[in-house]
Amino acid sequence: MRPKIEICFWGVRGSIATHLTENSHYGGHTSCISICYKKHWFVCDAGTGIRLLGQKLAQKKVPVTILLSHLHWDHLFGLPFFKPLYEKNRKIMIVGPSTKTFPFRKTLRQIVRSPYFPVTPQYWSSKMRLLGVGEKRLKIGRIVVEAKWVRHTDKALGFQFYFPNGKRIIYVADHNLKASDKQFAKWIRNADVLIHDAQFDKKEYAKKWDWGHSCFETVVEVALNSKIKKLVLFHHDPNASDKILDKRLKFCNKKIRRAKSKLKCCLAKEGFKILI
């Protein structure tokens, strides 16, 4: 049997964590997902959801690659709470966006220090490696990870994973997606799974068009046109209750049925797993 890829959602919110009864079904932690293939563990973003993943991976001798889409708080806040970071000799690589103005390694060290947080990277594993990237293809084991700049309020990366079994997974956490963006549409075309920012609906987007996020209506439209197999709406607004999110999914499924497409659409939910 072909080895499966397991995607698991540990945090699905954008902006800020929210733990209220009305959003408990989808969960309140901020962005963090894991992708596991054989013994390779990839962690996309280090929002508050990463803490529980850290408990699961503690003491396991598997190499971990953490990919940070960008350094906004909702994607970084959980990093110092990731247990494996404090295990001696633990092999961990942290990849993040790097520019001339904000070189990744220097910028990260400037954030994770007093007076903002008392435990600095000098306490992290001696085998921890920080790698700043722009648009780049990285080979980790037999898996290729491609980083691509996406439109956001600060420099942010999307990641595409190419697995040896031919599967492709794309993770784009924060992105102001335009339906007219042909380059992006080409990049995602025919992917097996697209996990994408869907923070707003059209009405909210009209007011907050410069906040760097997408509206779910555009995301489903682009996914349909790009022949995506599975779309996962992600980075839910902290104000979007379970009820609101359920309505969004209904709208998307109606649109997909009308288009007579085979696209499968779902909402990211804490604890939810996808096997492909």
Footprint of Zn ion (CB under 5 A): 14, 72, 74, 174
Helix, strand, coil: what percent of the chain each, to 5?
25, 30, 45
Looking at beta carbons only, is 87 or 197 nearer to Zn ion? 197
Looking at beta carbons only, is 49 or 84 nearer to Zn ion? 49
Q: Which long-range contacts (CB under 8 A, 24 or more apart) does 101-110 make?
A: 102/71, 102/155, 103/132, 104/130, 104/131, 104/132, 104/133, 105/130, 105/132, 107/71, 108/71
At closest approach, how far in Å is the CB of 31 from Zn ion?
6
Looking at beta carbons only, is 155 or 255 nearer to Zn ion? 155
E-strand ranges in the chain read: 5-11, 32-37, 40-44, 64-67, 92-97, 128-133, 136-140, 143-150, 156-162, 168-172, 193-197, 230-234, 264-267, 273-275
What is the spatial distance between Cα 191 and Cα 189, in angstroms, rounded to a whole number? Answer: 6
Looking at beta carbons only, is 62 or 111 nearer to Zn ion? 111
Looking at beta carbons only, is 40 or 72 nearer to Zn ion? 72
What is the spatial distance between Cα 149 and Cα 141, in angstroms, rounded to a whole number? Answer: 23
Between the CA of residue 32 and those of 48, 103, 181, 250, what are the distances in Å? 7, 23, 26, 25
Beta-carbon contacts of 112 under 8 Å, excluding residues fewer than 6 positions away, are: 79, 80, 119, 120, 121
Looking at beta carbons only, is 14 or 28 nearer to Zn ion? 14
**Nearest 5°: phi and psi at 103?**
-60, 135
Looking at beta carbons only, is 107 or 225 nearer to Zn ion? 107
At closest approach, how far in Å is the CB of 17 from Zn ion?
11
**Nearest 5°: phi and psi at 261?**
-100, 160
At closest approach, how far in Å is the CB of 135 from Zn ion?
18
At closest approach, how far in Å is the CB of 254 from Zn ion?
28
